[in-house]
Amino acid sequence: MKKFLIALLMIGLIACLLIGCNVTTPSEGEGEGEGEDETANRTVLVELFMSMGCPSCSVVEPILEQLAEEYDRTEMILVEEAGWGLYSTTEISDRYKWYLPSSSDRATPNILFNGLNQKIHGDSTYAAIKSKITTELGKDVNVSISATRSSDSTTTTISGTIKNIDSSTLDNLVINGMIFRDRGQTGLKYSVIDIFEEQKVEISTLDSGSSYNFSFTLEDINWDVSNTQGVVLVQDTDSSKKEVLQSFYVD
């Protein structure tokens, strides 16, 4: 019996030497996805630059507000920015001038889709505006954003992380944000009250796969009581389109 067991052991060792040991067939799906690039869904930031009493603004504003209700906030975020006059701020005015340096281009309304990627000036229709959103939603995403909010009666902190999920290095990025609220009148459901211009974060280079943490502290904001909403955005400030690469809605 002992000789028989020794013989079986020798046969097994010879078989391992000839065909290799521990050979297994992976089950279906095992190992799949390893090394694949991280992906995220694109969110379209729609910026309506308007002014009170503008006839064409009153045409496009309800269309945009309707679309903002139809889309999830992971797909579209609308902000309404008063370029001048009532409800305008220095930050809004400066942002409008940054987008459109020539004053002749700043007549209202101007609707910007992820920066200057897509633009509509003047009157428009539901179908035309929706087509611009659809085009932006179909583009690839190279930045992901995650964020959380903590608030008390006077202070709100928005903290999070952006990550370069593209295969290439990204340059000249800015992390910025806005807060907005319903003015309680016809239109202006998403009226911007502040842009985080003084706290914006400039990133000269972000390598593929790299992350960057950010934090914004907002004083004298009772977020929950005043029905405040927010958006964090990553923008390519050096591109001709001043493209908003990704946005994140803050409830």
For 131-144, the pLDDT digits (tens) are 999 999 999 999 99
191 beta partners: 80, 181
Higher pLDDT: 196 or 13? It is 196
Q: Helix 57-70 vs helix 126-137: angle between axes, to the nearest 10 degrees?
A: 50
Alpha carbon 198 to its chain's center? 20
Give the integer Cα–Cα distance in Å for 97 and 106: 8
CA distance 112 to 79: 10
pTM: 0.84
CB atoms inside a 10 Å sphere around CB 7: 10
pLDDT, position 37: 53
Q: CB atoms < 10 A from the CB of 172, how many?
A: 14
Q: Looking at the predicted structure, is the pLDDT value of residue 77 above 60?
A: yes
From residue 162, alpha-carbon distances to 85, 199, 206, 232, 245 in Å are 35, 16, 10, 10, 11
pLDDT digits (tens, 9 = 90+) for 89-123: 999 999 999 999 999 999 999 999 999 999 999 99
Hey, which residues does 48 pair with through a beta bridge? 80, 111
| Per-residue model confidence as pLDDT tens digits over 21-55 | 443 333 333 333 333 457 789 999 999 999 999 99
- Domains along the chain with CATH numbers: 44-250 (2.60.40.10)
3-state secondary structure of 163: strand
- At residue 180, the 3 state secondary structure works out as strand
Best CA proximity match to 58, nearest among 109, 133, 119 = 109
Q: What mean pLDDT is reported for the chain? A: 88
In this structure, what DSSP letter does residue 103 have?
G
Closest of 104, 92, 94, 112 to residue 51, by C-alpha: 92
